[in-house]
Chains A and B, each alone.
Chain A
Amino acid sequence: MSGRQPDRYTQSVSVPLLAIGPDPLDVPPLVSALADAGSGRDGAVVTFLGLVRNHNAGRSVRYLEYEAYEPLALKAFARIADEIRERWPSAALALHHRTGRLEIGEASIAIVARSPHRGDAYAACRYAIERVKQIAPIWKREFFEGGDVWIEGATADPSDAQARAAAERVACA
């Protein structure tokens, strides 16, 4: 390599499929990273970006702060990818979650799913976001006009078969 700029190939293979951290999310490198696993076999790529909304539960949201137990979050993402391989064997997943302060309109999560046909890619993508909300050790603190509050959703229990079945129902609806 002669130039200072890394070439596109080097950039694309350096993107991990599963990640969590403070860097802004970018979908095209994630799509490219997942493409390396393919070989012309896949006919569908579905992407999902979760964005910071300016309103929640009747409150005017100013910004969010995300906190995570990162080593366990990565394991939760790997578990979700395994569950997807089990349920949709031909689907592949990439998932990045952001931490720290996020402004309105910024992306907190990026998910890419690909498979030979669109049905499985849509289902796998939806399943991934549902499972993140159930079992990933990540928390958002909402700063709104007049105060702030930790949002508390599901008690995380990866072995809860009912929660997993509920995510699968939503994914296949």
Chain B
Amino acid sequence: MRVTVKLFARLRDIAGVPELAREVSPGSTIGAVWRSLAADFPDLAPYERSISSAVNADYAKMDQVLRDGDEVAFLPPVSGG
């Protein structure tokens, strides 16, 4: 199945794109998508403990199972205000 990954701030800079499509096997979790991304972009790996994630614009835990067509977002520590 296919999911869309959105990346923000420094994560976007590291990957070089704000959004990419990933083919993942059915039953994949957010965490699995993150690990496959970090394998492609090793500079992402240090963010493993500090990122947040969201699915379809709602915060979600890394063990959430994804469905075909989901939009997954990875968010580095925030600095609004």
- A: which residues have CB within 8 A of B? 50, 66-69, 71-73, 75, 97, 108-109, 129, 132-141, 150-159
**CB-CB contacts below 8 Å: B31-81 with A:** 50-52, 54, 57-59, 73, 75-81
Query: How far does the Cβ of B49 sit from chain A's closest Cβ, in whole Å?
Result: 8
Would B13 and A133 count as touching, CB distance under 8 A?
A: no
List B contacts of A134 (CB < 8 A).
78
Query: How far does the Cβ of B61 sit from chain A's closest Cβ, in whole Å?
Result: 9
- B: which residues have CB within 8 A of A? 6, 8-10, 13, 50-52, 54, 57-59, 73, 75-81
A69-B79 CB under 8 A given contacts A139-B9, A150-B10:
no
List B contacts of A66 (CB < 8 A).
80
Would A109 and B81 count as touching, CB distance under 8 A?
A: yes
Main secondary structure of the interface of A (DSSP, over half): mixed
A72-B54 CB under 8 A given contacts A67-B8, A158-B59:
yes
List B contacts of A158 (CB < 8 A).
59
Query: How far does the Cβ of A80 sit from chain B's closest Cβ, in whole Å?
Result: 11
Would B73 and A69 count as touching, CB distance under 8 A?
A: yes
Partner of A153, one of B6, B51, B57, B79: B79
List A contacts of B13 (CB < 8 A).
150
List A contacts of B75 (CB < 8 A).
69, 137, 156
Would B57 and A152 count as touching, CB distance under 8 A?
A: no
